Structure 1
Amino acid sequence: MKNLIFTALALFTVTFAFSQYDAKALETLEAMSKKYKAIPAFEANITSTMTNETEGIKEEFKGKITVKGDKFRLALEDQEIINNGVTVWTYLPAAKEVNIDNYDPGSDEINPSKIYEAYKKGFKYIYLTDKTENGVLCEEIDLIPEKRDAQYFKIKMMIGKKDKNIQSWTMFDKSGNKYKYTINKFTPNAAITDAFFTFDAKKYPGIEVIDLR
């Protein structure tokens, strides 16, 4: 009986250590991060999918994300989010309103301009397997937050095995929702000015400005 207990404890220790630090996952994540950090600015056409199997929900949107350093602009069919590293604008065309708030880099919210660095702070990482997605052989890696009360309990990253490009990432929340972002077209070294990452309400007559700062 005592030997069984020791064996179980040993297996638990090995499993726990593995979940804390996975060298193979880290190698891939570091190579991926290095690649994206070397690109001054990029654009990507994406597909955003929200599913909840329990509720029978599946919503899909096409969009575009533009990233330059800490700045990003995410344009979806129903909203546009613009972040210049200091201020965040959320524009809702159907409602003719824009919400303005301060950007909090310390929040648990996943910043799409920093998805390639998410693993560096507050996450464990686990390499799962090689899997083909949309015709691309990828390395499947799970990021598990160290905080139990984190907004998402898991982020699944699919990273191209050959080129280390992000093929997709999926965020899982505790209510059963899955938010998947798939890269359809990637354009590196895009010529983008800093002015692109601000929202000028004067260009939208009749818009309601809701300042939450």
Structure 2
Amino acid sequence: MIMKHTLLSILLVAAMAVASSVQSMAQSNPAQARAILDKTSKVIGHKSGVSASFTLNNPTTGNVSGTIAVKGGKFNARTPQAIVWFNGKTQWTYMKKNNEVNISTPTQAQQQMMNPYTFINVYKTGYKMSSAKAGSSYEVHLVAQNQKRSIQEMYVTVNSNTYVPSRVKMKHNGRWYTVTISNFSAKKLSDSLFAFNSKDYPSAEVIDLR
């Protein structure tokens, strides 16, 4: 009986040691997680610009697919329902159904809904980070130190060879939104791509919401 208890104790200790080892391997230190996103930031932040296709899973409205072009803090997103231009400060949203353009100054969360690459700026301050290896990808987990931030929690999946992100999952107001990214490409983009030109939409109603 004593031997059985001793053997059981040894097995339990061994199992706990293995579990602890697996957990420590799966969750990297914050410095490694930051290093992954630093490399990803350089890839996305290509000085000439980048483009990609995306699908946003919105828990309220369902899936929305489209394309996005990014250059620094600017972006242009296009879906079957709308076109969004953002020049780093002002956002123009053209709603095709209503033939109207809304002008606004978007919050961080609003930018994130249309530009999945916003995380390349927000991760640098105010987030606790860890990362795990999943097949040929890294998954970086970010949790806001201040839960009043618009993006409270985030998972960023990045290819471990190219550091191109393939998925961004974010928590906003208690709800999870997931953006799947494909067809990533670095290319030269004109700055004019990121600002609304009224000459291209002469009949559209312009509504300033700032």
* TM, length-normalised to structure 2: 0.76
Asked if the contact 1:70/1:85 (under 8 Å) is kept, the reply is: yes
Asked if the contact 1:101/1:211 (under 8 Å) is kept, the reply is: yes
Partner of 2:195: 198
Partner of 2:99: 96
Distance 1:172 1:83 in 2: 22
Q: Deviation string for 1:6-54 (max 9, x for gaps)?
A: xxxxxxxxxxxxx9x6122122122222333344211111111123xxx
Pairing partner for 2:51 from 43, 54, 58: 43
> Which structure is higher in strand share?
1
Gaps in structure 2 of 5+ consecutive residues: 1-26
Partner of 1:178: 176
Pairing partner for 1:114 from 118, 135, 151: 118
Report percent identity of matched pairs.
Answer: 26
1:33-182 aligned at under 5 Å gives the runs 33-51=41-59, 59-102=62-105, 107=108, 109-111=110-112, 112=115, 113-127=117-131, 129-132=132-135, 137-175=136-174, 177-182=175-180
Task: For residue 93 of structure 1, report the CA deviation from its aligned partner.
Answer: 0.8
Distance 1:170 1:40 in 2: 26
Task: For residue 201 of structure 1, report the CA deviation from its aligned partner.
Answer: 2.6
Distance 2:200 2:61 in 1: 34
Distance 2:70 2:145 in 1: 27
Distance 2:171 2:130 in 1: 16
> Which structure is higher in helix share?
2
Asked if the contact 1:85/1:103 (under 8 Å) is kept, the reply is: no
Partner of 2:205: 208
Distance 2:111 2:101 in 1: 21
Task: For residue 156 of structure 1, report the CA deviation from its aligned partner.
Answer: 0.8
Partner of 1:15: none
Gaps in structure 1 of 5+ consecutive residues: 1-18, 52-56
1:11-50 aligned at under 5 Å gives the runs 22-50=30-58
* TM, length-normalised to structure 1: 0.75
Secondary structure of residue in 2 paired with 1:152: coil
Instruction: Give 1 or 2 for the bigger CA radius of gyration.
Output: 2
